[in-house]
Amino acid sequence: MSKIAMKTPLVEMDGDEMTRIIWKMIKDILLLPYIDLKTEYYDLGLVHRNETNDQVTFDSAEATKKYGVAVKCATITPNAARMPEYNLKEMWKSPNGTIRAILDGTVFRTPILVKGITPYIPTWTKPITIARHAYGDVYKNTEMQISKKGKAELVFTDEDGNETRELIHEFKGSGIIQGIHNRDDSISSFARACFNFALDTKQDLWFATKDTISKKYDHRFKDIFQEIYEKEYKARFEEAGIEYFYTLIDDAVARVIRSEGGYIWACKNYDGDVMSDMVATAYGSLAMMTSVLVSPDGVYEYEAAHGTVQRHYYKHLKGEKTSTNSVATIFAWSGALRKRGELDGLSELEAFADKLERATIKTIEDGVMTGDLAALSTLENKKSVDTETFLREVNIRLEQML
Ligand code: NAP
Ligand code: MG
């Protein structure tokens, strides 16, 4: 059998620890035997980030802009403990943060559903994708603690020196104040990324804020979404048979719980932080959550939502076999390959991506899974296997499908 050809390279961002080990196994066992894999390789492992003074992260993001599709392995975001462990010159910033800032993207997280792992909300038969706005609000706040009587005001000084003031509160005693902001251009990018992703995946888009209470701040989000929708997307949504739906955040959470899933839920920064953890947990496992960063101009970066699974890596280093779940990383590859196939008109590559995902799900539904899933699965004939055995079992099913 001849290998499936590619046209444009994928931007390949390698990473750290256990996911770096899994990365290579996925390529060796599931991709290289079938695809004439074209990638432009960037090593975002911490060792190489440190050697290049993190330049490699910037270069990989620029390459993503150039080619349009990237696939990324989980990477270490250094903390104090990593400084001596990797003999770091600096506590390098989160690669995901750097890449997100360069691509100006929105992150979409979607759970992978399999038979035998039942969501805690039994009506959720389809995935709910959370889109989180990743700029501003409480994440870029300014806070003050007040210890005596006095007046707190919001002051805006324009470039000509004119001041606009709003009273926040006349303090009779001690208290606290917080200043937050957002930008129209960032909210607009977020809105466009959400509308594009909804069209791309043919799913309804929900958006919710607290605009009844926050009549200027949250209301601005609602207005920007509505304006962009009317002007740029309404006709295309109608043509695709999908819907844009705005509601109050309280109403949204109630509807989400009663829903069957199958839509995108756009969330402001804080709502997205909190709700994505709730939704991920309710679907069963962080190791079954995919993540894609979409920029407003249509650039895509696929990854798993989990980290580098450090604890398993240390076991691996001691020579022990681990049972680390590779599903979200496999889906990062299949997502990127499918998108590359779509953009380059390579139907064979798209079909391969579909089969790779089906083979992965079939393996789990046949009862072969890693330990984290075996602990959750209600299947009777389930068997917990190590990392590599799972990938070989996927390959057996993939070969049959090809
Ligand atoms: P983690 O890698 O997500 O793992 C936390 C725990 O969740 C693991 O110890 C494991 O539990 C379970 N788990 C996560 N993924 C799993 C998988 N694929 N298979 C089986 N179990 C899985 O988070 P962490 O250990 O807190 O973080 C490790 C490093 O990852 C940190 O340096 C952090 O900076 C980085 N990180 C990177 C990204 C990214 O690049 N996108 C995201 C988050 C964190 P048990 O140990 O109980 O088996
Ligand atoms: Mg969080």
What does the pLDDT look like over 369-394, one tens digit per residue? 999 999 999 999 999 999 999 999 99
When pLDDT is averaged across residues 227-249 and rounded to a whole number, the result is: 97
Nearest residue CA, atom 44 of ligand 1? 307
397 CA distance to ligand 2 middle (Å): 36
**How high is the pLDDT of residue 32?**
98
**CATH topology of 1-114+291-402 equal to that of 118-141+183-283?**
yes
| H/E segment holding residue 96 | helix 95-103
What digits encode the pLDDT tens for the residues 253-310? 999 999 999 999 999 999 998 898 889 889 888 889 999 999 888 899 999 989 999 9
Q: Is it the case that residue 62 has pLDDT exceeding 80?
A: yes
Cα torsion angle, 267, 271, 273, 276, sign: negative
For 1-114+291-402, CATH gives: 3.40.718.10
Distance CA 364, CA 373 (A): 9
Banded pLDDT at 322 (limits 50, 70, 90)? very high
43 CA distance to ligand 1 middle (Å): 19
Q: Is it true that domain 118-141+183-283 has CATH number 3.40.718.10?
A: yes
Question: What one-character-per-residue DSSP string does 127-167 give?
Answer: -EEEEE--SSGGGG-EEEEE-SSEEEEEEEE-TTS-EEEEE
Of these ranges, 6-20, 83-97, 371-385, the one predicted with the greatest mean pLDDT is 6-20
Q: Which ligand is nearest to the CA of 271?
A: 2
Q: Which ligand is nearest to the CA of 93?
A: 1
Structure tokens at 53: 């003074």
Report the share of the chain in percent with pLDDT over 70: 100
Q: Which ligand is nearest to the CA of 273?
A: 2
Nearest residue CA, atom 40 of ligand 1? 74
308 CA distance to ligand 1 middle (Å): 5
Question: Which of the listed residues 17, 73, 308, 324 should we mutate to test ligand 1's pocket, taking the one with most ligand atoms within 8 A of CB?
Answer: 308
Neighbours of 166 (CB within 10 A): 9
Which is the closest atom of ligand 1 to the Cα of 328? Answer: 18
Nearest residue CA, atom 12 of ligand 1? 309
Report the share of the chain in percent with pLDDT over 90: 88
For 356, half-sphere exposure in the C-beta direction (CA atoms, 13 angstrom radius) is 29
**How high is the pLDDT of residue 123?**
92
Three-class secondary structure of residue 290 per DSSP = strand
88 CA distance to ligand 1 middle (Å): 21
Which is the closest atom of ligand 1 to the Cα of 82? Answer: 32
Q: Is it the case that residue 44 has pLDDT exceeding 80?
A: yes
Location of structure tokens 């959750």: 376
Least confident of 46-50, 119-123, 353-357, 380-384: 119-123
Short-list 368, 379, 299, CA closest to 327: 368
Which is the closest atom of ligand 1 to the Cα of 15? Answer: 40
Short-list 94, 5, 76, 25, CA closest to 307: 76
207 CA distance to ligand 1 middle (Å): 29
What digits encode the pLDDT tens for the residues 165-195? 999 999 999 999 999 999 999 999 999 999 9
**How high is the pLDDT of residue 284?**
81
SS3 per-residue string spanning 246-287: EEEHHHHHHHHHHCCCCEEEEECHHHHHHHHHHHHHHHCCHH
- Residues in contact with ligand 1 by the CB-under-6-Å rule are 74-77, 96, 286-287, 303, 306-311, 324-325, 372
Structure tokens at 33: 């035997």
Nearest residue CA, atom 5 of ligand 1? 309
Short-list 319, 293, 325, CA closest to 307: 325
Contacts of 237 (CB under 8 A, 6+ apart): 195, 198, 199, 229, 243, 244
**How high is the pLDDT of residue 39?**
98
206 CA distance to ligand 2 middle (Å): 20
305 CA distance to ligand 1 middle (Å): 9
**How high is the pLDDT of residue 277?**
84
**How high is the pLDDT of residue 249?**
96
Banded pLDDT at 57 (limits 50, 70, 90)? very high
Averaged pLDDT of the chain: 95
Spell out the domain ranges in the chain: 1-114+291-402, 118-141+183-283, 142-179
Q: Within 180-323, where are the H helices? A: 184-201, 217-228, 234-240, 249-258, 269-283, 310-317
Question: E strands of 299-346, at which residues?
Answer: 300-304
Which is the closest atom of ligand 1 to the Cα of 324? Answer: 19
Long-range CB contacts (within 8 A, 24+) of 172-175: 173/148, 173/149, 174/145, 174/146, 174/147, 174/148, 175/145, 175/146
**How high is the pLDDT of residue 101?**
83
Contact between 57 and 49 under an 8 Å Cβ cutoff? The reply is: yes
Rg (CA), the chain: 23
Nearest residue CA, atom 36 of ligand 1? 307
Question: Which of the listed residues 109, 306, 331 should we mutate to test ligand 1's pocket, taking the one with most ligand atoms within 8 A of CB?
Answer: 306
**How high is the pLDDT of residue 97?**
86
Nearest residue CA, atom 37 of ligand 1? 307
When pLDDT is averaged across residues 203-214 and rounded to a whole number, the result is: 97
**How high is the pLDDT of residue 139?**
83
